A and B are shown apart, each in its own frame.
Chain A
Amino acid sequence: MIGLRARWRLFRARARTFSEHHRSASILITMSIAAVFLVVLPRIPPFSAIQSENPWYDAFANAGVYVLLAMGLNVVVGLAGLLDLGYAAFFAIGSYTYAYSNSPFSGLDLPFFPMLFVGAAVAAVFGIALGAPTLRLRGDYLAIMTLGFGEIVPIVFVNSDPYTNGTNGIGGIYRPEALPFFGEFSPLTSFNYMIVMIAIVTVAMMLLYRLHDSRIGRAWMAIREDELAAAANGINTVVTKLLAFALGATTAGFAGVFSASKLTIVSPDQFYFTVSFTVLAMVIVGGMGNIWGVAAGAFIVFLIQAVLLKQLSSIAELLNVPPIDIGPIHFDLVKFDFTEYQYLLFGIALVIMMLKRPEGLFPSRERRAELHESSEGALDDELATGAAGDA
C-alpha cells in the first residue's frame, strides 16, 4: 500500500502539473480564495483581538505593494539572474511621477488609473536607460552600478527642489477617484485600496506567468543557468537581459504609483537602499525564481514586520511574559521595541537563507532540481510524468 508520504508527493506532483498546464485558471482560483481569507480573517479572533479591521486591511494593502515589488525584482534576479541592488529607484520614479501629477505642489490632478500606466512607463524608460549601457557588464559590476543608481536617484530628488520639493517631499497627494460600488478612497476605507491591490497583483501574476512560460521566460532561465551556452544557442543576451530589467522597472513603477496614492506623501527617504534590500530579502526568503514563492514570501515578511513586530510587545504583555534578569542584564520583552530591529532581522534572515536554504521557503522548479539528490529528483520526474499521463 502507498504510504502517507508517497501519497503527499503524488498529490503535490499532480497539483503542480495541473497548475503548470492551467496557469491563469489556477491563479484566479488561488487569488480568489486568498481574497476571501483576507477579507474575512481580520473580522474573527484571534486576528480581531490584535487590531481592528481597518489596520488589517491597511497592512494587507501595503503588503500588496511589496508583493508587487518582489514579483518585479524576481524577474530580474530570480529569472534572469541579474543582481539589481537599486530597485527602489524605479519604485521612487513611479511614486514621484504620480506625486508630481496629482498634488497641490504642482497643481495638476490627473486620473489615477491611467497614471498607473504612465508611471510604469516612465520607470521603464529609466530601466532601459540604466540597462542599455550596463547589462554587458559582469554580474558583480552590474550589482555595483545598480547600487550606485539606487543611491543617486534619491540624491537627485533631494536636490531638485523646483520639481520634487527637495527633502520635504511632495505631500497632499490626491487619492484615486472613487470606485463604483466600493466608494471613496480614504484612510478609513483601506478596504478599497486592498481590493484594488488584490486585483493588480492577480493581473500582474497572470502576466508574469505568461512570460515565465514562454520563449522569453526560457531565455531568461537559460541565461541564468549558463550565459555562454545561452548565447551559443542564438539568444541575444544583452537584449534579453534588458527586457528583464525594463519589465522589472515597469512593475516597480506600478507599485510606486499605487503607493504614492495611498500614502499621499512621497519623500526621498522612503526610497533608500534599505527598501531595495528589503525587497531583495523577500525574494530570497520567498524563493528566487518562483513567482508564487516570492509573492508569498513578501506577504509573510511584510506582515511579520508590520503587524507581528509591532504587536509583539503587547502580545508579551498579554501572555504575561516576565522580564529576564541575568546579572546586570535586565531584559523586558514587554518594553522591547522590535521595530527598531526589523532591518537587522531582515539582514540576518537573508544571510541565513543564503547559507542554509538558498532556494528559499518555496523553491522554484529549477532550484528544486538543483538542490535535490539526483535520485529524488528522478522520482519526482516520474511522478510528474505519471500524473501528466493520467491527466
Chain B
Amino acid sequence: MADVLNATNVTKRFGGLVAVHDIDFSIPEGSIVSLIGPNGAGKTTFFNIIAGIYDPTAGIIEFHGENMIARSRRAWLEPVLWLTPPAILALITFVISGTGNEGLTGLGILVTVLTLLASMVTGVARPPAYQRFMQRFGIFRSARPNDMVVAGLGRTFQNIRLFANMTAMDNVLVGMHSRLKTTWIDALLSTPRDRREEVTSRVTANELLTLVGLKGRGDTVAKNLPYGDQRRLEIARALASKPKLLLLDEPTAGMNPNETADLTRLIGRLRSELGLTVLLIEHDMRVVMGISDRVTVLDHGERIAEGTPDEVRKDPKVIEAYLGTPPA
C-alpha cells in the first residue's frame, strides 16, 4: 500500500527553540493514524508543518510521492527571474526612444508595463506551470496551506476556526472553493455554468451536512450552533475539498462521552465509506485506542514510540513521558 504522506528528517526551529527534531513519519493509505504525546511535545507544530503553515528548518515531506514541503531554496532568485522579461523590454524601449520614434516608444512603454504587471501577478499567483518552471532553476518554495488543499489535504483546528458569522452552508461552500470551477468572471456575467454550479454545489454541501449529522441546518449561522455541531461542521467543511488525507486536531476536545462515541464512529465511516486516510491528534485515549491502526508518540519534539495501540500502551518510554519516572 502506498504512503499518502512521507516525512523524513523533519526539524523545526523557532529561534533558539527546537520544536520538532528529526522526525520520520509516514501514513499508509487508508489508515487511521494517531499522533499523541504530552503537551508541548510538538504535535501541533508538526501538524502545522504538514498543513503548510510553517516551513520546516530541515527535512522533507512528500505527499502522494511528490515533494511538497521542505525548506525553501533559492527563493531570492524568483523575483529576479520574473523581473527579467520586463527589464529586457524596458531596455529595448529605452533604445527605441533614442531613435525618436514616438509611436514605437509609446508602444514599447505599453508592452513593458503590461509585461511587468503580468509578471507580478504570475509571481504572486504561482500557477502550477510557473512552479514547475521555477523548479528547473533549483528554486523551491514550500507548499502553502492552500497548495496543500489543492493537493488533497483537509484539516480541522484545535480551537474551532469556523467562519463564525457565516451560515453553515456558506462555511461548507467555502470549503469547496478549490474544487469549484467557476471564476469571478463567470459570476459577473451570470453564465449558465455559474448558475449550474451554484445549484450542484449546494446539493453536494447538503449531502456533506447530512453525512456529519447536520441535515437541514444549512441556514444556521455557524456561531449559533452548539459546540458539538460546530466541530461536525468543521469536519464537513474540510471534507468539501474532497481531500485524500484528513488532519483532525483534537476533534473530540470538550465533548461528552456520547458525542465522543458519535464522532469516533463518524471518523470510522469516513475511512470505510469515503476511503479517506486520517491523521488524528488526540488526548482522549479511548478514541485513540479504539480507532487507530497505528499510534505515534512524540515527546519534546522527538518520536519516542510507534506501533499499534496495544504496543504503545505498554511501552515504558511512553509511560515515562506521560507520568514521569517513579522516585528511586
Residues in chain A within 8 A of chain B (CB atoms): 125, 128-129, 132-133, 135, 207, 210-211, 213-219, 221-222, 225-226, 228-239, 242-243, 366-367, 369-370, 374, 377-378, 381, 384-385, 388
Contact = CB atoms under 8 A, between A and B. Distances in A.
Given A225-B163, A233-B241, A378-B224, A218 B53 contact: no
Contact of B113 (A125, A135, A216, A243): A125
Q: Which of A128, A132, A214 has the most CB of B within 10 A?
A: A214
Q: Which of A210, A217, A225 has the most CB of B within 10 A?
A: A225
A356 B228 CA distance: 33
B121 A374 contact: no
A133 B123 CA distance: 10
A377 B182 contact: no
A369 B221 contact: yes
A237 B174 CA distance: 13
Interface stretch (B10-18, B66-74, B149-157, B267-275): B149-157
A57 B245 CA distance: 61
B310 interface: no
B161 interface: yes
Category for how many chain B residues contact A: 35 or more
Of all A-B residue pairs in the complex, the 4 with the closest CB atoms, nearest first, are A234-B178, A214-B187, A234-B149, A229-B161
A215 B166 contact: no
A236 B165 contact: no
A155 B237 CA distance: 48
Between B51, B161, B238, the greatest number of chain A beta carbons within 10 A of the residue's beta carbon is seen for B161
Contact of A232 (B149, B166, B224): B149
B76 interface: no
Given A215-B187, A234-B149, 14 more contacts: A128-B120, A132-B120, A210-B190, A214-B186, A218-B170, A221-B163, A230-B163, A233-B240, A234-B150, A235-B174, A238-B125, A369-B164, A374-B223, A384-B219
Interface string B49-79: 0010100000000000000000000000000
A369 B223 contact: yes
B162 interface: yes
A231 B144 contact: yes
Contacts of A211: 184, 187-188
Contacts of A238: 124-125
A243 B183 CA distance: 11
Given A232-B155, A370-B165, A129 B177 contact: no
A225 B182 CA distance: 22
A221 B161 CA distance: 14
Contact of A381 (B53, B161, B179, B224): B224
A385 B220 CA distance: 9
- Residue from A128, A218, A229, A235 whose CB has the most chain B CB atoms within 10 Å: A229
A243 B125 CA distance: 11
Contacts, number: 137
A215 B180 contact: yes
A132 B124 contact: yes
Interface string B279-293: 000000000000000
B208 to A, nearest CB: 13
B107 to A, nearest CB: 16
A230 B174 contact: yes
A225 B187 contact: no
A228 B166 contact: no
Interface in B97-156: 113, 116-117, 120-121, 123-125, 144-146, 149-150, 155
B165 A367 contact: yes
Contacts of B315: none
A287 to B, nearest CB: 14
B209 to A, nearest CB: 14
B122 to A, nearest CB: 10
B124 A239 contact: yes
Nearest to A128: B117
A226 B163 contact: yes
B194 interface: yes
Given A222-B166, A225-B166, A377 B187 contact: no
Nearest to B201: A215
A128 B121 contact: yes
A214 B241 CA distance: 17
B174 A219 contact: yes
B37 interface: no
Contacts of A132: 117, 120-121, 123-124
B186 to A, nearest CB: 8
Given A218-B177, A222-B174, A369-B165, A228 B223 contact: no
B221 A216 contact: no
B198 interface: yes
Contacts of B183: 216
11 contacts: A132-B123, A215-B180, A219-B174, A229-B161, A232-B149, A234-B150, A236-B125, A238-B124, A239-B125, A242-B124, A374-B224
A375 to B, nearest CB: 9
A215 B200 CA distance: 13
B42 interface: no
A239 B150 CA distance: 15
B298 interface: no
A368 to B, nearest CB: 9
A377 B221 contact: yes
A20 B221 CA distance: 16
Contacts of A217: 187
